[in-house]
Chains A and B, each alone.
Chain A
Amino acid sequence: MRPDLLSRRLVLASLVVLGATPARAQQMDINRATTFVHRAGQDLVNAINDPRLNQTQRRDKVASILRTAIDIEGTGRFILGRYVRQASPAELQDYLKLFDEIIIRNLSARFGEYRGVKFSLGRSQQRTEEDALVSTLIERPNNPTFTLDWRVAEINGQPRVVDVIAEGTSLRLTTRSEYSAVIQRNNGRVASLLDAMRGQIAQLASREGG
């Protein structure tokens, strides 16, 4: 192969790679991230504390706010990690659907309990080139104040939450270890994780119904 042809191929290959990189490589502006978290957080707090809503309505409202604020697909892929490539396209599609349901159910159930919650912005800091870390303080009646950090990235031109970090523990890192352990303990089968996730959704649903 002639050298110029080789270099042209390399350029082409790198263009393909660049094109394939998701939009998250854009830099996240810290003020934009902070404004975004402030608004989404305020919406959440208003929904949680709205006395006109009953429990189901509140949960639905919280779920819809979370759906627009979180980059569920990106986070789901991050959590599945190296198994994204091992999963078949159908498995990946199933996984993302199940993940969406689990994360929304878990977070709405958790936040739904935070009646009387107040939240305020803490010190904000830029973390990496790609995303920003916005720190908030969560205050609840009769509970100690704690910090909740939101990792915000630019996803397709919109700021989106990609991780929640409570007092140093990142939800996406913990969940990644959890899911990876389930797959490994079942001979590396992604399908076994999907089964476990389906079982969990059934459990969550019966608990909410009860």
Chain B
Amino acid sequence: MISSLTRLLGCAALALLLLAGCATRPPADDPEALQEFRENNDPFEPANRIMFEVNEAIDKAVLQPIAEAYRDLLPKPIRSGIRNVLGNLRTPTILTGDLLQGNVTRARETLGRFIVNSTIGIGGIVDVGRRYDVLGHSEDMGQTLAVWGVGEGFYMFVPLLGPTTARDLTGFAIDVYTNPQSLIGQGQILDVWNYTRIGMTVVDTREALLEPFDMVRKTSLDPYATLRSAYRQRRSFEILNKDGPGGAVAPAGGVGFGQGVLEPQ
């Protein structure tokens, strides 16, 4: 199922690139424009902008209303519990990232939080670790690749996934395929479980981004360019492990919109 979907998406992406063409490289006698072109590293900008508009349309019609209803209908403690559970379920990915980056301290925190939150915290509903000032953090394969020295590669905008780069998308694919929950086996119950988890992650992430997204739409003269810049800056911040004092809950993982996922409002 997943492979045929990937193939279909691949074909669609290729067709789009052919239709939209590539970004025009500035002439060699304009070094500043050339430098900016390299820094943006967005060779498929025309196609990416179309994808961005597609995402905007889907978002305004479906995702944003769902996220708003989710916030209105469910009280904060329940949303908080859901976010905690999703964050707890990401432990294998985060722990793998901590270990592959050689960060034993953070790996110990991740493992300790998982054990305490899964048991005393009733399956991750309550973030007990936070109460003892062991705050959660996020990791993903994209960050690990960056720590290993892999350059970020060209920029991409993928509908539903949001801004990403060649490196981060590769990392995301590795995270998805190595997630124990997609390896345990097959079966209807597992499928339902996985789809629920993915669906909840999308709704929860979008809910966390309601205000930042509104702000970008309201104040930016070019939301696409703003997101591209914010995503890159946010990623380098995450790669350097400079978590904010709020501590990330971050079920969103390897993708984001230049914004950390924190405790719900």
Interface residues of A (CB under 8 A from B): 81-82, 106, 110, 122, 137, 142-147, 167-170, 173-182, 185, 193, 196-197, 200, 207
Complex CA gap A177/B33 in Å reads 12
Contacts of A142 in B (CB 8 A): 265
Whether B221 pairs with A137 at a CB distance below 8 angstroms is: no
Whether B221 pairs with A182 at a CB distance below 8 angstroms is: yes
Supply 18 further A-B pairs (C-beta < 8 A) apart from A110-B215, A167-B237.
Answer: A82-B36, A122-B245, A137-B245, A143-B265, A144-B262, A146-B246, A167-B244, A168-B238, A169-B230, A169-B233, A174-B229, A177-B40, A177-B229, A178-B221, A178-B222, A178-B225, A181-B225, A185-B222
The residue in chain B whose Cβ has the minimal distance to the Cβ of A148 is B244
> Distance in Å from the Cβ of A120 to the closest Cβ of chain B?
10
Complex CA gap A170/B233 in Å reads 8
* Interface residues on chain B, size class: 20 to 34
In the complex with contacts A167-B244, A169-B234, A178-B229 CB distance below 8 A: yes
Whether A177 pairs with B258 at a CB distance below 8 angstroms is: no
Whether A82 pairs with B229 at a CB distance below 8 angstroms is: no
Q: Which residue in A146, A168, A174, A200 is a CB contact (below 8 Å) of B242?
A: A168
> Distance in Å from the Cβ of B129 to the closest Cβ of chain A?
15
Residues of B contacting A: mostly: helix
Please list 6 pairs of residues, one from A and one from B, whose beta carbons are closer than 8 Å in the complex, sorted by A's number. Answer: A144-B246, A169-B233, A170-B233, A181-B222, A182-B225, A200-B219
Complex CA gap A165/B206 in Å reads 23
Complex CA gap A168/B233 in Å reads 6
Complex CA gap A110/B262 in Å reads 19
Contact with A along B195-224 (1 / 0, CB 8 A): 000000000000000000001001111101
The residue in chain B whose Cβ has the minimal distance to the Cβ of A199 is B221
Is the C-beta of B226 less than 8 angstroms from some C-beta in chain A?
yes
8 closest cross-chain pairs (CB), A and B: A168-B237, A181-B225, A144-B246, A177-B229, A144-B262, A181-B222, A82-B32, A144-B263
Complex CA gap A144/B263 in Å reads 6
